[in-house]
Amino acid sequence: MMDYTLRQHGRATLDFLTAFGPSVGPLMKKQQASLDVAGLNDDTLAEDLDERAKQIEGILENLSAFRSANLLGEWHAEHHARLAEGAFSEIKDALAPQFEELSKGSTTLTPNPDLDIPQYWRYPIHRTTGGWDGHRHMGFIHGELVHRYIVGKAAKPPAAGGAPTDIYTDRRTFAEQAPRRDYNHVFEIGCSSGPYTLKLSEVFPDAKISACDISIAQLEQAQRNGNIAGHSWTLFQADGRDTGLDDESCDLFTSYIILHELPVDVIEATLREGFRTLASGGDFLFGDVAPYSALDKTAAWRTDYMARFGGEPYWRGSSTMDMIGLMEDVGFIDVRYEGMAPNNYPWVTYGRKP
């Protein structure tokens, strides 16, 4: 973890953002109470998501708890990245020597200035101002200030209910879902600033670890995190659909919480790339949010509603697709599509290449 101290204004601002999560809980309970009074439940709600939305939102639209939760969510979505950028601006000069020093070390980074940036990726996911590369140092701003400081400090409920979970412990526990410990080459797509990459190194200390991402700003922060920990990762800028790896060159192809950020056709192409690059007997292991089929109808609507208005345009497609059928069509065997115990989070997509 990088060594930094937030200035008073920046720290107070981020603490304020962190407090948003717990404040929404009581509002959600009031919403559910109104739906219960209206008799809306799994027996009476429509199967079709859009029809279900009309049923639920027709009851909630004039409820102050619904309108207040929407206001809080909208404000947070519009301002979290901008305010985190402001907190960074107060300490950027103090961080500059660390940025320079941590660009050197055994974790290497290869940019690809000729990479054709896909259109879907340009959408400002999570309503992040300017997208993943909207700021020269968005890797630190998002990976450290937004992800670790705000999200990591707040209680993070699993997608399908249950007790709050720690997002960093989740990553290690998920990596441990892989059936082997003797992988030679572990490859991660969409590594962002490297939080899952760190856990892969803990679980598979003897493996070669390589990873790619489209965002150069995120990769630069991943390189810093790798060098802080003394790892020898090979990082490079690439699209997960076209990694540039040789055929059958890795034996674990993995990612954490990225599928719901991708259009369905991109997911399919990514699965096919995983199959191509895996050696015979290699494992495909992706973790993500739970599909709507694993949630009750109200929870599925709520997730879909937050995705629609929270900057997640591809969530519904990934959460309603036939993942098992696609994995088997690609060629994977021993396919599993299930929630990780004990809280059903994250959702595991696993397959083995024959």
Q: Check which CATH number belongs to the domain holding 175 and give it.
A: 3.40.50.150
Q: Which residue has the higher pLDDT, 124 or 228?
A: 228
Q: Is residue 328 part of a domain?
A: yes
> What is the pLDDT, as a whole number, of residue 295?
97
> What is the pLDDT, as a whole number, of residue 158?
43
**Contacts of residue 216, Cβ cutoff 8 Å, sequence gap at least 6:** 111, 133, 237
Q: Is residue 126 part of a domain?
A: no
98-118 pLDDT per residue, tens: 999 999 999 999 999 999 999
Min mean pLDDT across 56-60, 77-81, 87-91, 160-164 is at 160-164
Q: Is residue 238 part of a domain?
A: yes
**Contacts of residue 139, Cβ cutoff 8 Å, sequence gap at least 6:** 192, 193, 215, 217, 218, 219, 220, 221, 222
Q: Is residue 32 part of a domain?
A: no
Whether the predicted pLDDT of 316 surpasses 90: yes
How many domains does the structure of the chain reveal? 1
- Note the pTM of the prediction, 2 decimals: 0.94
Amino acid at 42: D
Domain that holds residue 222: 167-352
Amino acid at 23: S
Q: Is residue 344 part of a domain?
A: yes
Q: CA-to-CA distance for 189 and 139, rounded, in angstroms?
A: 16
Min mean pLDDT across 2-16, 39-53, 165-179, 270-284 is at 165-179
Give me the percent of the chain exceeding a pLDDT of 90.
Answer: 80
Q: Which residue has the higher pLDDT, 164 or 48?
A: 48
Q: Is 331 left (phi over 0), alpha (psi -120 to 50) or beta?
A: left
CB 236 within 8 A of CB 205: no
Min mean pLDDT across 129-143, 223-237, 328-342 is at 129-143
> What is the pLDDT, as a whole number, of residue 132?
76
Whether the predicted pLDDT of 119 surpasses 80: yes
Q: CA-to-CA distance for 225 and 300, rounded, in angstroms?
A: 35
Could you check whether the bond before residue 346 is cis, i.e. omega within 30 degrees of 0?
yes
Instruction: Give mean pLDDT, residues 174-203.
Output: 97
Q: Is residue 55 part of a domain?
A: no
Q: Which band of pLDDT confidence, cut at 50, 70 and 90, is reported for residue 133?
A: confident
138-185 pLDDT per residue, tens: 999 999 999 888 887 754 444 444 444 567 789 999 999 999 999 999
Give me the percent of the chain exceeding a pLDDT of 70.
Answer: 96
> What is the pLDDT, as a whole number, of residue 159?
42
Q: Is residue 44 part of a domain?
A: no
> What is the pLDDT, as a whole number, of residue 154?
59
Q: Is residue 159 part of a domain?
A: no
